[in-house]
A and B are shown apart, each in its own frame.
Chain A
Amino acid sequence: MQELDLRGNKAYLDRAFRWSAAGAAALVLLILGLIAVTITGRSLPVFHEMGLKFFTTTRWSPPDALFGALPFIWGTAFTALIALVIAVPISLGMALFMTQVAPPAIRRPMVYMIDLLAGVPSVVFGLWGVLVLSQHFGLGRSFLTAGIILAIMIIPIITSLSREVIETTPPGDKEGALALGCTRWEMIGAAVVPHSAGGLVGAVMLGLGRAMGETIAAALVIGSALGQLTLHPLSPGNSMPAVIANEWGEADTLHKSALIALAVTLFVITIVVNLIATAIVQRSMRRAQGL
């Protein structure tokens, strides 16, 4: 066996490791930066043509060279909102059940199942949505159908992150609450929720980021209707990633630029959501560790 030699002539390995690790980290930033530069550059023609009307008008007609993305931005927000309304209570319920109620014999298989759900490719969810939700249950292709599918897709993320956050609740807090005569329900309200609130918000926001960016499943079930600025959940609509996926193949120059501009918009929104989410999660982690 070779002895570990920290002072000797192998110190260069240490330096090599530091630099290669730093390089890998820098590469991530570089790739992100290059993506941002390229897509922003290629979206400029449409902004040149439409200006800020790209964000504020509702007509999307490639033959007229009119590209108003507002209905798609709304569709993305609306479906993500529906998804959160459905997914958040279910996910938090599952996370609390797994951490506070379920015996290990139930808990472990549940964790496996949820991880399995996270691994199902999105096109499978999309096809299931088309065949079961829109046809069998007659929901049609609509904001609601897309919202339900997105909800199912983000439940695993929100559940497993929430579970980990809730598990960091100090046992002392929980036992203290129980010792004071709290029921289990009151204990969750008094000890678990205050302790993990920030982390739970972060988990929800990461789910939101995924829901907004989901492409194929949304493209299959959302209905691809234009100009829909409505609060009616059963009307067909469209979302930014779905439009890109549907129209890219046959788009000509300006149309392509408009689709790339949608990608830029989505990129900015998801980055902002993810940054907020990460910040909230980290702050709550620090607080949980008493730092």
Chain B
Amino acid sequence: MSKSSILTWALAVVGLGLTAPRLASAAGTTLNGSGSTLSKPYQEVAIEEFKKSHKDLTINYGGGGSGKGRQDLADMVVDFAGSDSPYKEADMVKIKGGEVLYFPILLGPITVSFNVTGVDKLNLSPETIAKIFQRDIKKWNDKAIAAENAGAKLPDEDIVVAHRADGSGTTQNFTEYLNGAAKGVWKLKSGSTVEWPADTQAGQGNGGVAQIVKSTKGAVGYVDLSDAKASGLKFASVKNQAGKFVDPTTAAASAAGDGIEVKPNLLFSALNAKGDKSYPITCQTWVIVYARQTDKAKAEALKAYLKFLVKDGQKLLSEIDYAPLPRSLGDKALKQLEKIQVK
């Protein structure tokens, strides 16, 4: 190789090195998000679909849990957070970037999944669920369960309660539901971690709980619909506020979304919703962003992605066993996009 050709090569390499980052910064905007693992499957399919029409955008969503998402957004290390619950009053002071906006993106039923010999269908009231999970009821043929399941052949089998080992938004929603719907019976209060009795089993993530239920005779656990279906679990019909036993389906979760009161800032709880067809243990998840953005390109990208999440992306939800937002809520979320402004 002659000297001049080496020089040409060297120049070409240097040239590539110089132009590559410039190209990236001109065309590509990157949005980073973290938080809720409940909404992670939706974020993943939505990002994939959204990219088909927005090739110049890069969007990353890391899980880590709702609490981590809220913390990351408060510290301004991500552009958006996924969270199953809003900021608590005490944490508001720590938010560095000013006012935050909540965009609901999906509803998800939490199943009470079970593995009971010879039983395919089970009806449970919130009071009975509460008694089972706090170990007041220890056998599947207990009178309280039998009373709600006339005709079912309930075996003389020990109940094994499975719950989350890790702090979790699912635990938060499930215990919040029992706290409200089984008032006076439920004693463990509500939170991302509660004081489960010692003779219960714990699994990592929804998948871990599903795995315990699947492999243990007599087990019962709370698992989101998506993971319960993926593991082939059976799940109970739960008595709603109207006194009807309803199966956890995406339709019943959307129905719950119809029967709820939404505040002007789009905060609500879909738990224990009114309506005959509502599945009562329905949780929701939001994407949280700052109202005031500093980077114009980022703000535009964020708006486009949020619009996709609350509108066109909604049709992707049923395939992954989550429920779309009811129309009225979706419209309110769309309208709220106007509040995102560049400072």
On chain B, the number of residues with a Cβ less than 8 Å from chain A's Cβ atoms is 31
A135: interface (CB < 8 Å): yes
Chain A proximity mask over B159-188: 1 for CB below 8 Å, otherwise 0:
000000111110010010000000000001
Q: Which residues of B contact A (CB under 8 A)?
A: 64-68, 88, 90-91, 165-169, 172, 175, 188-196, 198-202, 204, 215
**A59: nearest residue on chain B (CB-CB)?**
B195
Q: Point out the residues of chain A lying under 8 angstroms from B204, CB to CB.
A: 219-220, 246
**A254: nearest residue on chain B (CB-CB)?**
B90
- In the docked arrangement, what's the CA distance between A268 and B194, Å? 27
Shortest beta-carbon distance from B315 to chain A in Å: 30
The 8 closest A-B pairs by CB, nearest first: A250-B167, A250-B192, A249-B65, A224-B202, A224-B165, A63-B189, A61-B195, A250-B67
A195: interface (CB < 8 Å): no
Contact B196 A226 (CB under 8 A): yes
Shortest beta-carbon distance from B188 to chain A in Å: 7
Contact B67 A249 (CB under 8 A): yes
A251: interface (CB < 8 Å): yes
Contact A251 B67 (CB under 8 A): yes
Q: Point out the residues of chain B lying under 8 angstroms from A171, CB to CB.
A: none
Contact A64 B165 (CB under 8 A): no
In A209-264, which residues have CB < 8 Å from any B CB?
A: 219-220, 223-228, 235-236, 246-253, 255
Q: Point out the residues of chain A lying under 8 angstroms from B191, CB to CB.
A: 62-63
Contacts A61-B188, A249-B64 aside, 4 further interface pairs with beta carbons under 8 A come to A220-B204, A225-B201, A236-B201, A249-B65
- A-B contacts, 23 listed (Cβ < 8 Å): A60-B195, A62-B195, A63-B191, A219-B165, A224-B165, A225-B196, A225-B200, A226-B196, A227-B195, A227-B198, A236-B198, A236-B202, A247-B166, A249-B65, A249-B68, A250-B166, A250-B193, A251-B167, A251-B193, A252-B67, A252-B90, A253-B90, A253-B91
A163: interface (CB < 8 Å): no
Contact A141 B67 (CB under 8 A): no
Shortest beta-carbon distance from B215 to chain A in Å: 7
Q: Point out the residues of chain B lying under 8 angstroms from A59, CB to CB.
A: 195
Contact A61 B168 (CB under 8 A): no
- In the docked arrangement, what's the CA distance between A135 and B194, Å? 26
